[in-house]
Structure 1
Amino acid sequence: MRHAEELDGVTLLGGAQTNYAFQYAPHILETFTNKHPDNDYFVKFICPEFTSICPITGQPDFASIYIAYLPQNKMVESKSLKLYLFSFRNHGDFHEDCVNIIMKDLIALMQPKYIEVYGEFTPRGGIAIHPYANYGLPETPYADMAAERLRRFSLRERD
């Protein structure tokens, strides 16, 4: 059984009725306490049904979004993350902006040791765009890790 302080702030998980936001809604994101803050470990999410809107044409853009992070004290609750990502459905931004917004919102929410967000957008107009953004906690080995992973980012493969 979970202790109440571990789940403080988690309100969406287990709810009988889910309310979907149809506009960008970072306030939906919720956290819970990391029970293993002294361990370095990755948490990876894959969202194969991400959609947003092209800010110029108004056409839908489809992507798989990959999020991986090393938690510090807080972790993102997965249902809130799902609802947050759904909130981009009618959000008009370029692919690169969506990936950076997601990363920055999660940094503000959790202050992770390290995070990376990769967007594998479906080709439109004969071209695919796959933006990648990452962050490591400044003045720590995680900042060095971010610089190295960015330097080694491959155009043909993903981790």
Structure 2
Amino acid sequence: MSGREKEDLSGITLLGNQGTVYPSEYSPGILESFENKHPNRDYFVKFNCPEFTSLCPMTGQPDFAAIYISYIPDQRMVESKSLKLYMFSFRNHGDFHEDCINIMMNDLIDLMSPRYIEVWGKFTPRGGISIDPYCNWGQPGTKYETMAEHRLMNHDLYPENINNR
């Protein structure tokens, strides 16, 4: 059978909705998921979000970043439009870079219980320093937990040349 059956997408309300409302505050409840049609196979899904913004919790000044989310799905997958709106919900949210990245990972784990997930933020410099927090997680007691340990220790073996982003 090809394509998705209606019941597979019953929890999806944002995709195709022409009346999209952009959240004005942090909104983890906006995230939606759908059934993974290939749960018997390990594969990565990667999202590149080059226009992320949040606010500095101390100054209220905007912070800009490219956010990279990679995960190996289990039974559920995140729907991309809901992820876009979720990422937008950080626009007026004040938190440190490290907190934003860990919050995103925790919300995505809660949503879909992936086998493995990593979230990497590459923030533009403020005050002459860029901050690039990386976090990951693998299902405890599985090869994915071991994978998470390995990738954490080796995540930046080939650092990029940064020229003021």
Structure-to-structure mapping, 1:1-159, within 5 angstroms: 1-154=3-156, 156-157=159-160
Cα distance in 2 for residues equivalent to 1:126 and 1:25: 31
Scaled by the length of structure 2, the TM-score of the pair is 0.93
Size of the aligned set, in residue pairs, is 157
Superposition RMSD in Å: 0.9
Give, in angstroms, the shift of residue 4 of structure 1.
1.9
Cα distance in 2 for residues equivalent to 1:126 and 1:30: 37
Task: Give secondary structure in 1 for the equivalent of 2:17.
Answer: coil
Task: Give secondary structure in 2 for the equivalent of 1:63.
Answer: strand
Give, in angstroms, the shift of residue 2 of structure 1.
2.2
Give, in angstroms, the shift of residue 59 of structure 1.
0.2
Task: Give secondary structure in 1 for the equivalent of 2:13.
Answer: coil
Give, in angstroms, the shift of residue 8 of structure 1.
2.1
Amino acid in the other structure paired with 1:131: P
Amino acid in the other structure paired with 1:150: L
Give, in angstroms, the shift of residue 153 of structure 1.
1.7
Scaled by the length of structure 1, the TM-score of the pair is 0.97
Listed one character per residue, the Cα deviations across residues 4-27 of structure 1 (whole Å, up to 9, x for unaligned) are 221121000001121000100000
Task: In structure 1, list runs of 5 or more residues that go unmatched.
Answer: none
Cα distance in 2 for residues equivalent to 1:89 and 1:96: 15
> Deviation above 6 Å: which 4+ runs of structure 1?
none
How many percent identity over aligned positions? Answer: 66
